[in-house]
Chains A and B, each alone.
Chain A
Amino acid sequence: MTVHEPAPAQSAQMPSTMTYREAMREAIREAMQEDERVFIMGEDVADYGGTYAVTKGLHEEFGRDRVRNTPLSESGFVGAGIGAALGGMRPIVEIMTVNFSLLALDQIVNNAATLRHMSGGQLGVPLVVRLTTGAGRQLAAQHSHSLEAWYAHVPGIKVVAPATVTDARWMLRQALADPDPVIVFEHATLYNRREPVEPGPVDLVSAAIRRRGSDLTVVASAGLVHKAVEAADALSADGASIEVIDLRSLRPLDRPTLASSVARTHRALVVDEGWQSVGLAAEVAASITEDCFYGLDAPVRRLSSVDVPVPYPKHLEEAAIPTVEDIAGAAREMLAEGGTDG
């Protein structure tokens, strides 16, 4: 008789840790194991293992039809993903980065987002598009865009940005279950992040409070969530109590969660790695202002990337995108601004 060592009670409760990359890969693997309709295609997803090594090894497990390398044809293979979704498959299309997704904007905006409506509800496009976003690695202007707002502008698609390993692990499953196109933005600086994974499932629509606080709400998404938490931790030494909200879903926006937080803190700082002009932060700030105007102790403030193509040198890149210090500085200024307590 085999004797099994009982696992220590505590570690049985402890969620396992993994990296964001591993979580994403596990999510893809699980989806492909469970549902034959699921397949992944994109540039270099097979032998190369994916630009960010997310799909590494999957072609050996699932074969080259279901882990399908495509030529450099962003419009072609995103459109093929839409067609395959119409034909009953559940495609995951990987676009190397958001920068190259511009070549597929026609397919996403003119086809994926419109077909359901234009056909009077006869067609649906259950497609998942995964793409990497963000600056911070000295890749210069053409490889450092954060264009989430462009997509979040469009009715007919949903846009999510998993910031935690738990969300990386579970959001895909929900995205594949969704009847509509879901664009998943993966911030390039997150792939090596290691965290415990909480059990799923998760939803695709709600914002999450990542840190509780009572003096100021910082709203962020993706990579900036962690910078915001870091800034908040730093400010707690000065006695400031800062709440950090992770948007998770950029379309739709979870306005109730934002409003109930700001109703408690009376101040909101919206940080965003996209450009400030006509950006995501503007939309979030306007929503908060509409929902909480009479409860605000200070104007809602935006902290976005500077309106400049992201430059190559490290010091200039850092000057262009919001840093932990920028967030802490803006928060400090806001807390010093007028308004009565409560």
Chain B
Amino acid sequence: MSKSERSLLKDMIRIRTLEERCAELYGQTKIRGFLHLYIGEEAIAAGALPQLRDDDNVLGTYREHGHALVRGVTARSIMAEMYGKAAGCSGGRGGSMHLFDADRHFYGGNAIVGGHLPLAVGLAMADQMQNRDRVTACFFGEGAMAEGEFHESMNLAALWDLPVIFCCENNLYAMGTSLESSESETDLALKASSYNMPAWRIDGMDVEAVAAGMERAVTTSRSGGGPVFLEFKTYRFRAHSMFDPDLYRDPSEIEEWKSRDPITSYASVLTERGSLSQADEEALWAQAQEEVDDAVAFAEEAEWESPATLTDHVYGPAPTRPGDDAKGEPILDPDDWAGDGIASNREVTA
């Protein structure tokens, strides 16, 4: 098993193991709120994210646990976040839908469908304007493609040649709404290509295909080729969220897709290649199990934040006096400073 084969398989197994445990913990009411599992779609995060550099930007939806994990956010801080503990990667303020990690350029965890696409455009703009050769990878479901913000963002990114990789995870359903009942043109890459950017269809159940497609997109975008749209064809094996009784899908359809499970498929590819033994695979599952056990223990032990901190992080540290910036640096030459007189507090009429 080559190093890259190993890490592709390993990351998918890590996501699956983490999320299976999340489902259990949800049943035990340890995790609350909405919980959207990525089970079945792991090949996308596992294949795509390793193609990025550490300083590239990543944005995801509420179905982002796998992306966070592969990006390097620790299982401990993800699990603690799901528990709502202070040690979580968002200080417990976000929960499962809002995992953030500024150091890893991981900008959520966004739960307004389509709402994070304009942010991706802006992050890429900031890079372009500051002459940084970063790319911004933005993950979203096909449901977002019916939103105005999708179209506005595609247009802006293409118009301004911004290095955004639009990663559409087409799992065929937006909650209970099928692709056919949502899109006038169900060929999503065709639709996206009307924005005058490259748009490629990729088998989202094949982790190596994902990795190759993403690598090509990153190379294109980073070298000044502007935005790229990728449609990853995939399927979620579970319901939309833990609240969803999943009444709208034919069980035979689910079974058919499950037969293309990205983990078992890749494991058998590697076995056929002779690069994976049963012992190797078992070791990967065992390691993932250990990682998740450790994360759960960590989250269990972690502290709750005191309600006294409730209103923390609403505003940043405000300038202490006019003419300073938030860090207390003068933004005006002190000689221009009008003494104790805040101009606005002067009376203008006698």
A residues apposed to B, CB below 8 Å: 39, 65-66, 70-71, 73, 75-89, 91, 106-107, 110-111, 115-124, 155-156, 158, 164, 166-167, 170, 173-174, 176-180, 195, 198-206, 208-212, 229, 233, 244, 246, 248
Contacts and interface: CB of A to CB of B under 8 A. Distances in A.
The 6 closest A-B pairs by CB, nearest first: A83-B122, A79-B118, A120-B91, A87-B126, A76-B152, A179-B316
A198 to B, nearest CB: 4
B139 interface: no
What is the interface of chain A mostly: helix, strand, loop, or mixed?
Answer: mixed
Contacts of A120: 88-94, 100, 313
A106 B322 contact: no
Contacts of A198: 338, 343, 346
Contacts of A180: 315-316, 318
Nearest to A195: B348
A123 B156 contact: no
B94 to A, nearest CB: 5
Contact of B118 (A78, A155, A167, A210): A78
Interface in B328-350: 331-332, 336-338, 342-350
> A75, A87, A202 — which one has the most chain B CB atoms within 10 A of its CB?
A87
Given A80-B121, A121-B91, A210-B348, A177 B126 contact: no
A229 B349 contact: yes
A78 B343 CA distance: 30
Interface stretch (B106-114, B207-215, B216-224, B238-246): B106-114
10 contacts: A77-B152, A83-B118, A84-B126, A86-B119, A91-B122, A119-B100, A174-B331, A178-B326, A180-B315, A209-B345
A79 B153 contact: yes
B92 to A, nearest CB: 7
A155 B94 CA distance: 16
B28 interface: no
B125 A121 contact: no
A206 B313 CA distance: 22
Contacts of A82: 118-119, 122
Contacts of B118: 75-80, 82-83, 107
A79 B149 contact: yes
Contacts of A208: 344-347
Interface of B: 57, 88-94, 98, 100-102, 107-110, 112, 115-127, 129-130, 148-149, 152-153, 155-156, 159, 312-319, 321-326, 331-332, 336-338, 342-350
> B124, B125, B153 — which one has the most chain A CB atoms within 10 A of its CB?
B125
What is the interface of chain B mostly: helix, strand, loop, or mixed?
Answer: loop
Nearest to B323: A201
Contacts of B117: 79
A106 B57 CA distance: 22
B325 A177 contact: yes
Contact of B122 (A79, A106, A117, A246): A79
A107 B121 CA distance: 13
Contact of B115 (A86, A110, A204): A110
Contacts of B125: 80, 83-84, 87, 89
Contacts of A119: 90-91, 93-94, 98, 100, 102, 108, 313
